[in-house]
């Protein structure tokens, strides 16, 4: 498969680990997902993190499938769960061993996932606000949820506006504007933001930066 070939090529050039998204478009069964990820896990000794994002792939990786994969392949070490379901995160934490990482794929759910035992976040906003997002996660992991919610509320508008158009277009725009990256260019079918959305992203970002000075 393409995913298997890309995994092998990445390992050859020195990748330390792999983030494997669920196959998109053809909507495989859970058995098909199990076999797909198993073939890749058997091809490498490097750590693998599953990535469930049904909104983009049309299929989610079910809790039962994650449990099967973890039992069969110990190099499958976690999941980026981006389906927006706190209840699913709670089930993953409950049914998997403590070493298995359950990470939120949605900045806006960092606190909610942490409250049910998830260990962190693979973040969009951290590309532009690494210190703020790191602090939020540190508060969550320290179980200082009251303080975490205060910071979350300060960041909430940022989390929302970064998805006003398809990710990563808004965050790349901010990073380029603030000279963190050399280009905000994206490949088709992604394209630059509309003028109205660009202004909204910048206004929201500037308001947050002003609030923390």
Nearest to 40 by CA among 51, 54, 55, 26: 51
**Beta sheet of 18-21, edge-to-edge order:** 18-21, 48-52, 76-81, 101-104, 120-121
> How many whole angstroms from its chain centre is CA 161?
16
Nearest to 38 by CA among 78, 14, 66, 62: 66
Tokens of 46: 């490097």
Q: Is 32 exposed, middle or buried (0-12, 13-18, 19+ CB in 10 A)?
A: middle
Radius of gyration, CA atoms only, the chain: 18
Active-site residue identified among 34, 80, 88, 208: 80
Tokens of 158: 């940022």
51 is known as an active-site residue: yes
Longest dimension (CA), the chain: 52
25 is known as an active-site residue: no
Active-site residue identified among 51, 88, 172, 208: 51
Contact present, 81 and 105 (Cβ < 8 Å)? yes
Active-site residue numbers? 51, 80
């Amino acid at each position: 498969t393409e995913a298997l070939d890309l995994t092998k090529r990445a390992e050859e050039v020195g990748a330390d680990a792999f983030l494997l998204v669920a196959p998109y478009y053809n909507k495989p069964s859970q058995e098909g997902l199990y076999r797909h990820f198993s073939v890749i896990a058997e091809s490498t000794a490097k750590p693998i993190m599953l990535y469930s994002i049904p909104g983009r792939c049309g299929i989610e990786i079910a809790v039962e499938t994650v449990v099967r994969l973890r039992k069969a392949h110990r190099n499958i070490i976690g999941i980026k769960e981006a389906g927006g379901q706190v209840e699913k995160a709670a089930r993953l934490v409950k049914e998997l061993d403590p070493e298995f990482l359950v990470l939120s794929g949605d900045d806006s759910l960092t606190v909610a996932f942490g409250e049910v035992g998830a260990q962190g976040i693979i973040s969009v906003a951290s590309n532009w606000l690494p210190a703020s997002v790191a602090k939020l996660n540190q508060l969550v992991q320290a179980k200082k949820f009251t303080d975490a919610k205060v910071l979350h509320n300060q960041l909430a508008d940022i989390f929302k506006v970064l998805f006003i158009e398809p990710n990563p277009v808004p965050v790349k725009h901010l990073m380029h504007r603030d000279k963190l990256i050399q280009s905000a260019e994206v490949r088709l079918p992604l394209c630059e933001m509309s003028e109205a959305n660009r202004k909204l992203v910048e206004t929201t970002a500037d308001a947050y930066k002003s609030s923390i000075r």
